[in-house]
Structure 1
């Protein structure tokens, strides 16, 4: 067992779950400035806290990448919907000129997203571990 400090515990479980999320702007427009990304980091951190999750890493250029440590009770789709919805609303509310000039129609994000589970051991290591377990005779 690892002695990593990222291991968290709930009422009935111990977990270490990370997800890599990628959000793409509507029409794949490059609209982000350092100021917008700084504002977005604060919004994402706040939304993650509402889900008892933690924003571990965040950065972006034309699209935005997040690494989130989240509890098993949180559906990734619910987390994504909240992250995208709240960030779109809050960033548009601040009236950044690059967004107002480039995007229209009330949408910051494309409706699609990428999600990938990450962390822990690679699949082949877990498969090998399970194969090596002794089946009772």
Structure 2
């Protein structure tokens, strides 16, 4: 994806677009597993997957039982596929590194994320508000 010179829109051979999503993943049973090490691995993996797929992470933050992601994606990946890829890749990495230690305390099976998720498109008018909301996660 490459941005047009003087707009915020992306352009490719056949389209001009700006697809921004606010995504929320919740841990299975809302267990507070997204602490220091695990959270770092999950965030790092989200950035890695985004880089590999050509997505752009605009903001990421959360609390011990959920993560908020604000990102830009391209037209070739559906929102459902986007959520599936991110959840699968982050869960695999977290379970590989911490499945027998930190996560074992909470999960007796290879769980990590809840089956459900939230995803919403973001308008240019609400972008700043959502960025602020995500930045303020965990600051209570």
Please classify the TM superposition score into its range, dividing by the shorter chain length: 0.7 to 0.9
Query: How many residues matched?
Result: 119
Matched, 1:99 2:107: no
**Highest Rg: 1 or 2?**
1
Which of 18, 21, 28 is the aligned partner of 1:19? 21
In structure 1, what is the equivalent of residue 136 of structure 2? none
How many angstroms apart in 1 are the aligned matches of 2:56 and 2:45? 12
Aligned equivalent of 2:113, options 109, 112, 118: 109
Query: 1:130 maps to which residue?
Result: none
Task: Output the TM-score relative to the length of structure 1.
Answer: 0.78
Asked whether the equivalents of residues 38 and 98 of structure 2 are also in contact (C-alpha less than 8 Å), the reply is no
Rounded to whole Å, the distance in 2 between the matches of 1:86 and 1:106 is: 13
1:26-81: per-residue Cα shift (whole Å, max 9, x none)?
11111111222221111111212233211221111121110110012210111111
Structure 2, gaps ≥5 residues long: 1-5, 127-140
Query: Partner residue of 1:34?
Result: 36
SS of the residue aligned with 1:78?
helix
Query: How do 1:39-118 and structure 2 match up within 5 A?
Result: 39-61=41-63, 62-95=65-98, 97-118=101-122
CA distance in 2, matches of 1:35, 1:11: 41
List gaps (5 residues or longer) in structure 1: 123-137
Per mean C-alpha deviation after superposition, the further-off stretch among 44-53 and 100-109 is 44-53
| Contact 1:18-1:70 at 8 Å conserved across structures | yes
SS in 2 for 1:94: helix
